[in-house]
């Protein structure tokens, strides 16, 4: 009932029709100040609006007051009219919803056995509008709850109990609700009682509710199918499609499977459905089919047109629908039968003024209809140039063609003629008048220039329009088409010179491979040169191609193309393949890349491994690879190493970019060939033979499972002892045996192996076993203080080497708080960094690789008092042209400091990094220095405790000859600089 409108008796009806009555044409008519009026008809009879009538029309809308369900229900349509015609609205079906009361007569009891199924009838009263049903059990508000045993049909209103139980005994009342008016009525109660003649035995399902054999459903609606069965035991309800296709997710099975709901019905939802009721006594099924239908929907609508008299008209009108729609046309609200309609299209061959009006296409099937509205205006007017005058001036080039359009407004189409000047224009092989009235002149000469007039006439009148034809010299490109051959990086100018009519402006446009060149972009490579030329700076390979210069004036155009060939280094070779891999060789092949217009004369192969520093040149057979050589054998590779290969091509311009690397390949493994370097040893703990070497790099191990074989024997021995070291990164082996004499010589050699077998041994080296630590202490240990922070220790050394030990050096231990080691066979050492005026106890030990020997006798020594802490002050200087005289105050040491024995004067030119030092016992010093340089001076006191604090830096500026002469003429001047320590 999707096309029906249900309205309550208590409200007024107001129907506002869609656009044909209230929208598009209302606006159009208002703008043109036409009178708009509308009429309504009901069931094909016009409704006359009369004073006091229940019907009134306002703004096109029909209002009905005091609705009457017998008189007012029906089919309504609106007719809208104005001076252009009449159109008819779509149909509106009015149904008035109501719900009457149940009849008051009592209902007889329904008597059933326990276990038997029963159907209680509702019998709804007279009504209009959709109803919903529910049942009260005994008294309100106790409603029957639906489950697998009880079901209330929303189609029939009946209550179904699949299997009656004693608890079902009682009174049942049907409640009916009108969903439109929301009114509700109750029927008389129906008593349900149990029979006393026994219990019903089990029986197979009996389906009481079943859907129609075929049910047509509109697109987009929600469809609900009901299915319920009586039976003992209570049957189960299942739904399926006979074709086995599963239900889509949107399908909802509810109310204990009694209802199948399909929302938003679509074409793919149509088909057969099956409901099956089953219990232990058997099963029963019902089948039905849902068919899909769709009311018409317009997909192509006719448009308003304005045509001249005698023209033809074809209006297309198409709609989608199922089943397919039929078509009919109305003119001004009346059926149109005198014209041909094919598949909805209306065709009129020769229009007359009487064909003007409003037209409607109606597409319909049994499920609905749709209207398309349009207007036809047929006009008849005299020729008129007011909106299409000829151009005042038309420019053309000599030797070219020109078209002078003449498009007057006139209806019907009349005759068009032309004049040149005052004479009628005669047509020739160069001059012709086209069917649409325009004038075409070919191969124009100077004589064709002049005033041209177009004259149009039909039965309603004559009109004309004139314009001047001006003939100009043609534009000719004087540059010749050519091909330019350039090399990458060069700059080139492509010419485009023209001869043209001097009164015309010319515009140059350049294209590269048919794409417009925007100067200022493209990376700045393209520049405009003089006139129309173009310059390409630093040309690249991508700039090769066709360059087109297009020249345009107001009257003509021309173009010229230049092909530019750019020669550059070759592109990378392609498809690098590696095969025939051995322990030290592989076969590499490739395909040539583009040579960029310069033949390749050489290829080079490069290799890379995890152990190389980037890419390196490979050695090949043949050694030199020419431009036709597309494969080579790479030799002198390392076994069991992963390699990548790439190829570079070279031509006369240069070497191109390398190819993409090949896939990684690993050469085959073989016996190792490289032995460890720098085999040595010695040292270690007692009874140990320590053997060391430099590990073999991974790229030289030649295969997996790499390790070392260490062989050794006593000097003069015949048989070798061997040991395997399995780690390829190992760099030492220690053989421990209590029988090894200390510091005894051994012959040692180290070999290699891997999974393929043993490789060679390296050369034999002599090393010594671990020696014993020194057994004696140094003697005649002496110590003396050198300053406040330094002590000199001397001793008598032990024998440097014996058959069991070597002396590697000595350890000094002042106060046992610190250790200082000497290296070699020395007999004295200076200990620095000590505290002043402090006594230190010193002992000495010899050491070697096995450890340290016993302590010597302990000696003590006291460091000297610290040097003066005061720095020299009141430093004065006097300069001549070759001497610098310094004087300062004597530094007096404090009570706990060493007495001052003299001074160190340090001086340097400002540009020098190291100062010169002069020592003196006095507080003055004369330096023979040229004074035409700047000098920096510092003075330190010196004592037996060392050097004291330095004076601040004193800068003595250089004295020029002029200043020196001035000083000589004055009294002797001393400059006093006072330095006060912080």
Q: For the segment 445-467, what is each residue's pLDDT rounded down to a tens digit?
A: 999 999 999 999 988 899 999 99
Tokens 């002469």: give the residue: 965
Given a cut of 90, whether residue 601 has pLDDT beyond it is yes
- Is-contact 149 110, C-beta < 8 A? no
- pLDDT given at position 636: 94
Cα 887 from Cα 872, distance rounded (Å): 10
- pLDDT given at position 961: 47
Q: For the segment 793-819, what is each residue's pLDDT rounded down to a tens digit?
A: 888 887 766 655 566 566 666 654 577
- pLDDT given at position 72: 79
Mean pLDDT over 669-684 rounds to: 92
CB-based contacts of 880: which residues, under 8 Å, 6+ apart? 931, 964
3-state secondary structure of 765: strand
Mean pLDDT over 320-337 rounds to: 89
Mean pLDDT over 621-649 rounds to: 95
Q: Are strands 223-226 and 259-262 parallel, antiparallel or unpaired?
A: antiparallel
Mean pLDDT over 828-843 rounds to: 86
The model's confidence at residue 707, banded by pLDDT at 50, 70 and 90, is very high
Given a cut of 60, whether residue 12 has pLDDT beyond it is no
The more confidently predicted of residues 825 and 585 is 585
- Is-contact 220 135, C-beta < 8 A? no
Mean pLDDT over 391-415 rounds to: 90
Mean pLDDT over 649-664 rounds to: 95
- pLDDT given at position 15: 32
The more confidently predicted of residues 271 and 895 is 271
Token code pair at residue 836: 């002043």
H helix count then E strand count, the chain: 3, 91
Given a cut of 60, whether residue 570 has pLDDT beyond it is yes
The more confidently predicted of residues 575 and 17 is 575
- pLDDT given at position 981: 31
3-state secondary structure of 968: helix
Most confident region among 35-44, 916-925, 965-974 by mean pLDDT: 916-925
3-state secondary structure of 608: strand
Given a cut of 70, whether residue 970 has pLDDT beyond it is no
CB-based contacts of 565: which residues, under 8 Å, 6+ apart? 483, 484, 485, 486, 544, 597
Given a cut of 80, whether residue 932 has pLDDT beyond it is no
Given a cut of 90, whether residue 31 has pLDDT beyond it is no
- Is-contact 691 732, C-beta < 8 A? yes
Q: For the segment 78-124, what is each residue's pLDDT rounded down to a tens digit?
A: 888 877 788 877 878 888 888 989 988 888 999 999 999 999 999 89
> Measuring CA to CA, how many Å separate 496 from each of 501, 506, 832?
16, 12, 90
Q: Which phi and psi (to 5°) does residue 703 adopt?
A: 165, 175
Tokens 């179904």: give the residue: 160
- pLDDT given at position 976: 34
Q: Strands, DSSP E only, in 401-474?
A: 402-404, 409-411, 415-420, 423-424, 431-433, 439-441, 450-458, 461-472
> Measuring CA to CA, how many Å separate 287 from each of 209, 211, 240, 275, 317?
12, 8, 10, 7, 40
Cα within 13 Å of Cα(119), Cβ side = 15
Cα 908 from Cα 683, distance rounded (Å): 52
Three-state SS sequence of 284-314: EEEEEEEEEEEEEEEEECCCCEEEECCCCEE
Given a cut of 80, whether residue 912 has pLDDT beyond it is no
Q: Are strands 92-96 and 4-7 parallel, antiparallel or unpaired?
A: parallel
Cα 123 from Cα 190, distance rounded (Å): 12
- Is-contact 495 533, C-beta < 8 A? yes
Among the ranges given (235-249, 283-297, 672-686, 823-837), the one the predictor scored with the smallest mean pLDDT: 823-837
Burial (CB < 10 A; 0-12, 13-18, 19+), residue 407, is: middle
CB-based contacts of 133: which residues, under 8 Å, 6+ apart? 122, 124, 152, 153, 154, 157, 174, 175, 176, 177
Among the ranges given (3-17, 99-113, 196-210, 758-772), the one the predictor scored with the smallest mean pLDDT: 3-17
Residue 716: which region, alpha, beta or left (left: phi > 0; alpha: psi -120 to 50)?
A: left
Q: For the segment 716-727, what is each residue's pLDDT rounded down to a tens digit?
A: 888 999 999 999
Token code pair at residue 280: 């232990």
Rounded to 5°, angle at Cα 647 from 646 and 650: 155
Given a cut of 60, whether residue 635 has pLDDT beyond it is yes
Cα 671 from Cα 709, distance rounded (Å): 14
- pLDDT given at position 963: 47
Among the ranges given (70-79, 107-116, 576-585), the one the predictor scored with the smallest mean pLDDT: 70-79
Q: Strands, DSSP E only, in 47-114?
A: 55-58, 61-64, 74-82, 85-88, 92-96, 98-99, 110-114
- pLDDT given at position 103: 86
Helical segments of 153-287, H only? none
Token code pair at residue 229: 């069965």
- pLDDT given at position 979: 31
CA dihedral 358, 362, 368, 370 (to 10 degrees): -50
Burial (CB < 10 A; 0-12, 13-18, 19+), residue 398, is: middle
Cα 721 from Cα 742, distance rounded (Å): 18
Q: Which phi and psi (to 5°) does residue 167 adopt?
A: -70, -10
The model's confidence at residue 627, banded by pLDDT at 50, 70 and 90, is very high
The secondary structure of residue 146, as a DSSP letter, is: P
- Is-contact 563 485, C-beta < 8 A? no
Q: Which is nearest to 290 in space by CA: 211, 392, 198?
A: 211
- pLDDT given at position 807: 66
Given a cut of 80, whether residue 770 has pLDDT beyond it is yes
- Is-contact 465 497, C-beta < 8 A? no
Cα 655 from Cα 572, distance rounded (Å): 9
Token code pair at residue 681: 């040893």
- pLDDT given at position 874: 83
Given a cut of 50, whether residue 780 has pLDDT beyond it is yes
Residue 201: which region, alpha, beta or left (left: phi > 0; alpha: psi -120 to 50)?
A: beta
Given a cut of 70, whether residue 35 has pLDDT beyond it is no
Residues linked to residue 721 through DSSP beta bridges, in sequence order:
712
* Rg over CA atoms, the chain: 60
Q: Which is nearest to 745 in space by CA: 804, 695, 697, 702?
A: 804
Cα 37 from Cα 49, distance rounded (Å): 13
Most confident region among 53-57, 597-601, 937-941 by mean pLDDT: 597-601
- pLDDT given at position 943: 87
Length of the chain: 982
Given a cut of 70, whether residue 962 has pLDDT beyond it is no
Cα 389 from Cα 677, distance rounded (Å): 104
Query: In 3-state terms, the chain is what percent helix, strand and coil (to 5)?
Result: 5, 50, 45
- pLDDT given at position 956: 80
Q: Which is nearest to 576 in space by CA: 664, 666, 660, 634?
A: 660
Q: Which phi and psi (to 5°) does residue 962 adopt?
A: -65, -45
Query: To which H or E segment does residue 133 belong?
Result: strand 131-137
The model's confidence at residue 194, banded by pLDDT at 50, 70 and 90, is very high
Cis (ω within 30 of 0) for the bond into 877?
Answer: no
Quote the percentage of the chain above a pLDDT of 90. 47
- pLDDT given at position 471: 94
The more confidently predicted of residues 891 and 713 is 713
Q: For the segment 155-164, what is each residue's pLDDT rounded down to a tens digit?
A: 999 999 999 9
CB-based contacts of 695: which residues, under 8 Å, 6+ apart? 676, 728, 729, 730, 731
Given a cut of 70, whether residue 964 has pLDDT beyond it is no
> Measuring CA to CA, how many Å separate 323 from each of 222, 292, 319, 369?
20, 9, 11, 12
CB-based contacts of 724: which residues, under 8 Å, 6+ apart? 707, 708, 709, 710, 753
- Is-contact 673 702, C-beta < 8 A? yes
Q: Which phi and psi (to 5°) does residue 201 adopt?
A: -75, 175
Mean pLDDT over 699-703 rounds to: 94
- pLDDT given at position 969: 45
Q: For the segment 541-555, what is each residue's pLDDT rounded down to a tens digit?
A: 999 999 999 999 988
Mean pLDDT over 263-280 rounds to: 91
Query: To which H or E segment does residue 965 belong?
Result: helix 961-968
Given a cut of 70, whether residue 952 has pLDDT beyond it is yes
Burial (CB < 10 A; 0-12, 13-18, 19+), residue 279, is: buried
Q: What is the mean pLDDT of the chain?
A: 85
Given a cut of 90, whether residue 495 has pLDDT beyond it is yes
- pLDDT given at position 821: 79
The model's confidence at residue 1, banded by pLDDT at 50, 70 and 90, is very low
């Amino acid at each position: 009932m999707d096309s029906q409108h249900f309205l309550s008796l208590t409200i007024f009806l107001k129907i506002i029709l869609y656009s044909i009555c209230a929208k598009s044409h209302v606006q159009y008519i208002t703008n043109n100040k036409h009178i708009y009026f509308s009429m309504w008809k009901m069931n094909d009879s016009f409704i006359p609006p009369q004073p006091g009538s229940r019907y009134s029309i306002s703004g096109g809308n029909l209002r009905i007051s005091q609705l009457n369900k017998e008189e007012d229900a029906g089919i309504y349509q609106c007719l809208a009219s104005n001076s252009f015609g009449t159109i008819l609205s779509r149909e509106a079906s009015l149904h008035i919803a109501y719900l009457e009361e149940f009849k008051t007569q009592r209902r007889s009891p329904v008597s059933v056995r326990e276990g038997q199924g029963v159907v209680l009838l509702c019998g709804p009263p007279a009504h209009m509008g959709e109803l919903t049903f529910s049942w009260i059990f005994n008294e309100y508000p106790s409603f029957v709850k639906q489950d697998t045993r009880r079901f209330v049909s929303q189609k029939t209103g009946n209550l179904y109990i699949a299997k009656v139980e004693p608890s079902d005994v009682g009174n049942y009342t049907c409640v009916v609700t009108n969903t439109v008016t929301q009114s509700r009525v109750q029927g008389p109660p129906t008593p349900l009682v149990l029979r006393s003649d026994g219990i019903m035995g089990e029986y197979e399902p009996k389906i009481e509710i079943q859907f129609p054999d075929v049910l047509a459903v509109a697109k987009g609606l929600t469809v609900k199918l009901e299915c319920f069965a009586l039976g003992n035991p209570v049957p189960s309800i299942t739904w399926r499609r006979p074709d086995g296709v599963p239900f889509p997710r949107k399908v909802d099975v509810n109310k204990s499977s009694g209802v199948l709901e399909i929302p938003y019905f679509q074409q793919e939802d149509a088909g057969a459905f099956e409901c099956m009721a089953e219990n232990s006594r058997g099963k029963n099924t019902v089948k039905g089919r849902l068919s899909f239908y769709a009311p018409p929907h317009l997909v192509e609508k006719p448009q308003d047109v304005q045509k001249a008299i005698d023209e033809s008209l074809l209006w297309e009108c198409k709609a989608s629908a199922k089943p397919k729609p039929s078509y009919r046309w109305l003119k001004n609200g009346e059926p149109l039968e005198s014209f041909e309609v094919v598949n909805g299209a209306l065709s009129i061959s020769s229009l007359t003024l009487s064909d003007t009006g409003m037209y409607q296409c109606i597409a319909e099937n049994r499920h609905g209809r749709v209207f398309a509205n349009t207007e036809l205006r047929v006009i008849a007017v005299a020729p008129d140039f007011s909106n299409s005058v000829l151009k005042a001036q038309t420019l053309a080039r000599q030797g070219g063609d020109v078209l002078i359009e003449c498009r007057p407004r006139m209806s019907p189409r009349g005759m068009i003629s032309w004049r040149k000047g005052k004479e009628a224009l005669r047509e020739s092989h160069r001059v012709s008048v086209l069917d649409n009235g325009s004038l075409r002149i070919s191969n124009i000469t100077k004589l064709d220039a002049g005033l041209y007039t177009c004259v149009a006439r039909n039965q309603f009148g004559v009109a004309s329009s004139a314009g001047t034809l001006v003939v100009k010299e043609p534009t000719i490109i004087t540059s010749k088409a050519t091909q330019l051959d350039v090399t990458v990086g060069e700059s080139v100018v492509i010419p485009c010179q023209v001869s043209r009519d001097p009164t015309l402006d010319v515009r140059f446009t350049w294209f590269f491979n048919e794409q417009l060149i925007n100067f200022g972009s493209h990376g700045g490579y393209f520049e405009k040169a003089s006139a129309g030329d173009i310059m390409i700076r630093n040309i690249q390979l991508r700039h090769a191609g066709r360059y087109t210069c297009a020249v345009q004036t107001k009257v003509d155009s021309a173009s010229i193309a230049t092909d530019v060939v750019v020669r550059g280094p070759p592109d990378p070779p392609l498809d690098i393949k590696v095969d025939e891999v051995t322990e030290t060789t592989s076969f590499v092949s490739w395909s040539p890349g583009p040579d960029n217009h310069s033949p390749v004369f050489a290829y080079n192969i490069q290799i890379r491994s995890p152990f190389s520093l980037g890419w390196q040149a490979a050695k090949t057979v043949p050694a030199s690879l020419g431009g036709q050589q597309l494969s080579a054998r790479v030799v002198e590779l390392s076994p069991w190493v992963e390699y990548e290969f790439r190829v570079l091509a070279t031509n006369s311009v240069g070497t191109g970019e390398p190819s993409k690397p090949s896939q990684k390949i690993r050469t085959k493994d073989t016996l190792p060939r490289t032995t460890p370097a720098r085999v040595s040893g010695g040292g270690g703990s007692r009874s140990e033979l320590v053997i060391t070497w430099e590990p073999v790099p991974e790229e030289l191990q030649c295969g997996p499972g790499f390790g070392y074989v260490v062989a050794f024997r006593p000097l003069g021995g015949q048989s070798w002892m061997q040991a395997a070291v399995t780690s390829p990164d190992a760099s030492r082996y220690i053989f421990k045996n209590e029988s090894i004499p200390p510091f005894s010589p051994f012959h040692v050699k180290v070999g290699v192996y891997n999974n393929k077998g043993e490789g060679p041994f390296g050369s034999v080296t002599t090393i010594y076993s671990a020696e014993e630590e020194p057994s004696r202490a140094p003697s005649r240990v002496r110590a003396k203080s050198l300053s406040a922070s330094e002590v000199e220790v001397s001793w008598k050394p032990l024998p440097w080497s014996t058959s069991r030990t070597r002396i590697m050096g000595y350890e000094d231990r002042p106060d046992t708080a610190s250790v200082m080691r000497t290296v070699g066979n020395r007999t004295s050492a200076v200990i620095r960094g000590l505290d002043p005026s402090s006594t230190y106890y010193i002992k000495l030990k010899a050491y070697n690789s096995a450890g340290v020997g016993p302590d010597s006798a302990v000696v003590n020594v006291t460091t000297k008092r610290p040097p003066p802490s005061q720095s020299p002050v009141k430093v004065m200087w006097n300069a001549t042209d070759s001497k610098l005289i310094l004087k300062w105050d004597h530094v007096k040491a404090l009570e706990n400091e060493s007495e001052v024995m003299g001074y160190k004067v340090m001086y340097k030119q400002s540009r020098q990094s190291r100062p010169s030092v002069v020592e003196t016992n006095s507080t003055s010093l004369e330096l023979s220095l040229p004074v035409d340089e700047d000098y920096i001076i510092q003075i330190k006191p010196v004592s037996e405790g060392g050097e004291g604090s330095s004076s601040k830096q004193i800068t003595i500026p250089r004295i020029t000859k002029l200043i020196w002469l001035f000083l000589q003429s004055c009294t002797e001047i001393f400059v006093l600089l006072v330095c006060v320590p912080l």
